[in-house]
C-alpha cells in the first residue's frame, strides 16, 4: 500500500526530527530518497503509476484512472458556498462518485455543506493538530515528545493528503480522512493515539503543578 508506506515515512521523519537527529543526517536521508526515486518508479505497479500520472492530468484517462479525480472535483465545485444540503449531494447519491464513504468523503461533505462547511472542518482539524503539537512542546519527557511528533506527522499528512486528493491537488492514495471516513481499524488507531496523548498531557500538567 503506497499511501500507508508514505505515512510511515512521514512518521519516521517527524520522530527523527523530534529526537534531535543532526540535520546533516536528515538531509542525507532526503537526498538518498531522491536518488532512489527512479528505482522506486520501476518497482511501482501499473495502476500505481497511472494514479501518479493522472494526478497531473486526470483527462488523460477520464473513464479509467482519472475518473475518480474528475468526479471528486465536480462534487467539491457543485457544493458552492453553502452546499446542497445534508444527504442531497447528487454526485454520491447518483453513484457518480466512487468510494464516497472512505476515500472521497471530504468531497461528499463539501458538496452537501459547501465551502463554509469545508472551511469549518479544516478549521477543526487545525485546532486539533495545534493542541497535539502543544502537548509535545510542553512535555519534558523525550520519549513522549518523540511519540507526539510521530502522531502529529501522521495526523497532519493523512488529513492534508485526503483533502488535497479530493480536490485533485495530490495523487489518489486511498488514505482515510481522520475521524470522518468509514473504517473501524483507522478509528481505533486514532482513538488509541489520542488516548496516549491525553495521558501525556495529564502527566505534563502534573509536573508543572
Let me know if residue 207 belongs to a domain.
no
Per-residue pLDDT at 130: 95
**Residue 208 within any structural domain of the chain:** no
Q: What is the DSSP letter of 97?
A: S
Residue 95 belongs to domain spanning: 2-201
Residue 142's CB is within 10 A of a number of other CB atoms, namely: 11
Matching residue, cell 510542553: 138
Q: Decide if 209 is inside a domain.
A: no
- Report yes or no on 115 lying in a domain: yes
Please, which pLDDT band fits residue 209 given cuts at 50, 70 and 90?
Answer: low
CA 189 to chain centroid, in Å, comes to 14
Domain count, the chain: 1
Contact (CB, 8 A) for 50 and 61: yes
Q: Quote the pLDDT of residue 184.
A: 79
Task: Please report where in the chains the cell 453553502 appears, as a residue.
Answer: 82
Q: Give the pLDDT confidence of 171-206 residue by residue, as tens digits.
A: 888 888 998 888 778 889 999 999 999 999 998 888
| pTM score, whole prediction | 0.86
User: What whole-number distance in Å separates Cα of residue 16 and Cα of residue 76?
Assistant: 36
Condensed to tens digits (0 to 9), the pLDDT of residues 93-137 reads 888 888 788 888 999 999 999 999 999 999 999 999 999 999 999
Say if residue 143's pLDDT is above 70.
Answer: yes
Grid cell in block for residue 112: 452537501
Q: Is residue 142, in this structure, part of any structural domain at all?
A: yes
Residue 206 lies in a domain: no
Amino acid at each position: 500500500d503506497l499511501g500507508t508506506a508514505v505515512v510511515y515515512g512521514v512518521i519516521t521523519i517527524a520522530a527523527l526530527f523530534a529526537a534531535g537527529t543532526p540535520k546533516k543526517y536528515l538531509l542525507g536521508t532526503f537526498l538518498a530518497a531522491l536518488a532512489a526515486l527512479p528505482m522506486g518508479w520501476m518497482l511501482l505497479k501499473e495502476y500505481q503509476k497511472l494514479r501518479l500520472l493522472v494526478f497531473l492530468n486526470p483527462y488523460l484517462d477520464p473513464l479509467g484512472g482519472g475518473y475518480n479525480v474528475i468526479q471528486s472535483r465536480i462534487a467539491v465545485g457543485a457544493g458552492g458556498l453553502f452546499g446542497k444540503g445534508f444527504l442531497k449531494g447528487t454526485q454520491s447519491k447518483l453513484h457518480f462518485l466512487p468510494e464516497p464513504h472512505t476515500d472521497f468523503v471530504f468531497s461528499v461533505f463539501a458538496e452537501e455543506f459547501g465551502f463554509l462547511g469545508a472551511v469549518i472542518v479544516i478549521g477543526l482539524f487545525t485546532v486539533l493538530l495545534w493542541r497535539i503539537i502543544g502537548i509535545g512542546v510542553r512535555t519534558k519527557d523525550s520519549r513522549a515528545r518523540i511519540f507526539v511528533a510521530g502522531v502529529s506527522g501522521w495526523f497532519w499528512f493523512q488529513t492534508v493528503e485526503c483533502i488535497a486528493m479530493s480536490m485533485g491537488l495530490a495523487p489518489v492514495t486511498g488514505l482515510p480522512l481522520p475521524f470522518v471516513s468509514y473504517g473501524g481499524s483507522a478509528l481505533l488507531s486514532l482513538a488509541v493515539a489520542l488516548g496516549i496523548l491525553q495521558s501525556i498531557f495529564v502527566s505534563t500538567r502534573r509536573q508543572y503543578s
